[in-house]
Amino acid sequence: MTGPVLLLGGTGEARSLAALLVDAGTPVVSSLAGRVTQPRLPVGQVRIGGFGGVDGLRDWIVEHRSPVLVDATHPFARTISHNAARAATLAGVPLIALRRPAWQPGPRDRWTVVDDVAAAAEVVADRGGRVLLTTGRQDVGAFAAVHTAWFLIRVVDPPTADLPPHHQILRSRGPYDLDSERTLLQDNRIDLVVTKNSGGELTRAKLTAAADLGLEVVMVRRPPTPAVDHEVTTVDEVMAVLRQILTSPRTDGT
């Protein structure tokens, strides 16, 4: 007898996937990192907190007889994605990675693409002005030494790192619509938007609003991802691959 699907989550896609699995009667455990104080919980069984690295994740898979591992974490959750790839190999189970497509610039977009948050801070220090910073609370410290700009720092939970000398904290959680994003940029006289290339629709509106207003966007490109057994871009594709895996002789014992 096999155990539950282990779903590494924390994203809107992961919550949708958990709901589909529960509706289908498929046992699933959603795992959240616990970095947000009040996360949006998916339906079904949930565990919160880390596994203790690759070995801890492998041990959980083996102990609970999980037949498949699904990585539906944030595109910038580099550590857990690499740990998942290694743990799945060690545990001998297939890994499905749900990787939403990255945003692509359109003809009206003014993007400066950088490799990491540190490079984004260098661009901001050079540009100055008034900045909407939406890279997440864990990366705010990279901008602490920037004295040439004022920051509107939008986060879910308060940052714990050092903060830039000129800033305002805006605690907010998406999704965001175009009208409110345009108003936010205009009311705060924003000159520059700094964000990560998370992809998806929940926070895309700020990019459209920036393009409408002719603002520059400093875009942090995604980190490299590990090779996996199955890489898909939608929840429906995950479900299709899961059906194949869960009905194969390997997992049903026939």
Q: Are residues 53 and 83 in the same domain?
A: yes
| CATH assignment at residue 48 | 3.40.50.720
Q: Are residues 228 and 186 in the same domain?
A: no
Helices (H), the chain: 12-23, 53-63, 78-91, 117-127, 178-187, 205-213, 235-246, 249-252
How remote is the C-alpha of 108 from its chain's centroid?
25
Q: Are residues 152 and 168 in the same domain?
A: yes
For residue 242, give Cα distances in angstroms to 103, 157, 195, 227, 245.
Answer: 26, 34, 33, 18, 5
Q: Are residues 50 and 116 in the same domain?
A: no
Taking the CA atoms of 189, 192, 198 and 201 in sequence, report the sign of the dihedral they define.
Answer: positive
Nearest to 183 by CA among 213, 140, 141: 213
- Determine the Cα–Cα distance for residues 180 and 185; give it in Å rounded to an integer: 9
pLDDT value at 252 more than 60: no
Question: Quick one: CA torsion of 17, 206, 219, 167, rounded to 10 degrees?
Answer: -110
pLDDT value at 89 more than 60: yes
Residue 30's domain comprises 5-101+223-252
pTM above 0.85, yes or no: yes
Q: Are residues 10 and 30 in the same domain?
A: yes
Structure tokens that stand for 223 in this block: 């980190």
Rg (alpha carbons) of the chain, rounded to whole number? 20
When pLDDT is averaged across residues 175-202 and rounded to a whole number, the result is: 96
Instruction: List beta partners, residue 242.
Output: none
Rounded to 10°, the helix 178-187/205-213 angle is 50
Q: Are residues 238 and 142 in the same domain?
A: no
What would the pLDDT profile of 231-246 be if each residue is shown by its tens digit? 999 999 999 999 999 9
pLDDT value at 174 more than 80: yes
Mean pLDDT value across the chain: 94
| CATH assignment at residue 156 | 3.40.50
Phi, psi (rounded to 5 degrees) for 168: -140, 135
Q: Are residues 86 and 167 in the same domain?
A: no
Contacts 24+ apart (CB under 8 A), 154-162: 156/36, 156/37, 157/36, 157/37, 161/137
Question: Percentage of the chain surpassing pLDDT 70?
Answer: 96
Percent helix, strand and coil across the chain, each to the nearest 5: 35, 20, 45
Q: Are residues 43 and 137 in the same domain?
A: no
pLDDT value at 63 more than 50: yes
The confidence score (pLDDT) of residue 250 equals 57
How many structural domains are present in the chain?
2
Q: Are residues 123 and 29 in the same domain?
A: no
Q: List all residues 6 or more positions away from 116 whose beta carbon is below 8 Å from its beta carbon.
A: 220
Q: Are residues 52 and 90 in the same domain?
A: yes
Q: Are residues 128 and 186 in the same domain?
A: yes
Q: Are residues 39 and 88 in the same domain?
A: yes
